[in-house]
Amino acid sequence: NRPAMDQVEPGSVFKPFVAAAAVEEGLVTPETLIDCELGRMAIGSDVIKDDHPKGVIPVHEVIKFSSNIGAAKLAMHYLGAEKTIAYLKAFGFGRPTGLGLPGEWRGTLRKPENIRPIELATTAFGQGVTASPIQLAAAVAAIGNGGVRMHPRLVEAILDRNGQVELAREPREDVRVVSEETARQTALMMASVTDEGGTGTRARVRGYRVAGKTGTAQKVKNGVYSAERISAFVGFLPADRPEVAIVVAVDSPTVGSKYGGIVAAPVFAEVGAFTMRYLGIAPDPVVPPADGADKAVASVSAVVAPAAPVEVRADGQGHWLLPDLTGQTLRGALASIEAAGLEIEVEGSGRLVAQSPAAGSPLAPGSAIKLSFN
């Protein structure tokens, strides 16, 4: 169960949690200026570097441009060790998630009473600590959930053979980590990551604002840092009305770039786009198209009760037979043809009134279809 058992250094995806802590404590605002020292800062005999060197920039640009130095200064010069570690624990790091799965690790956080300055600095940008993908998902969801961390659940309910609820898993609040206002400000800072010039532009989803953070962490092998990387993107969408939190972690990418914004962000965009269509979440008409993101053109204004479900069938010759989707909602239509792996273009909202190709047409996996709703 890798999302629960894998422990990796999270890297720069940690930075929004440190920024949120500093904002919550009233020590900074998103506009507070931080001197990032043109990408190079000495701490004793150690040197911290930035991949995107900057001078004096506001806190929100520390997140947008992923400055290690800016994050380190938030922890060292503003929060201090006690508050930095306390907030990270409140977000769920260094403690069990609450899922109760066998073999689950709590991850590692240094103790504030004996942490060295360089260790506090690196903790702020996710080095020298470990976390699981589930811990990251629960933490980023807390930002999207108005600052409240929930206990993660794997299932909503257990049903008996007759479809009756045998055991319900109700949502359970863990702890309020930050205020709603701090969570809102942090979400805006994370949304800037996908703006032009940010490190996560490839995570954009057509029609939806994405709030997220890139991360690229070195892998530790035999007690030392290796040349291998964990490339990650964590975030939620829609940024202003969150519905879904997603964590993408790519272990040791071997082709092309190793940066999370190049490797993991496109996966986030693809998963996010499909999920928005599947759940029938209406897009924001003012969000511009995103190059290379979601290929579907969706304009959905309402989600209504689905018609009786239909199912795409194979013809035994490597093709799918397109069913008659007339009367289906967007969610119902997508659920019906999900398994076929088709490229889908969507127009309008309401119930389906036209489809092309026509019902019964044999289609190869990856073929394009057009669905019109009214």
The residues assigned a catalytic role are 12
- Residue at 84: amino acid letter: T
Residue with tokens 């204004």: 301
Tokens for 282, please give them. 């209406």
For residue 34, the surrounding DSSP H or E stretch is: strand 33-35
Residue with tokens 């996908």: 194
Distance CA 214, CA 226 (A): 20
Q: What size, in residues, is the chain? A: 374
CA atoms within 13 A on the CB side of 240: 9
CA distances from 193 to 93, 151, 188, 299, 326 (A): 23, 27, 9, 25, 40
CA 36 to chain CA centroid, Å, is: 26
The residues pairing with 280 across neighbouring beta strands, listed in sequence order, are none
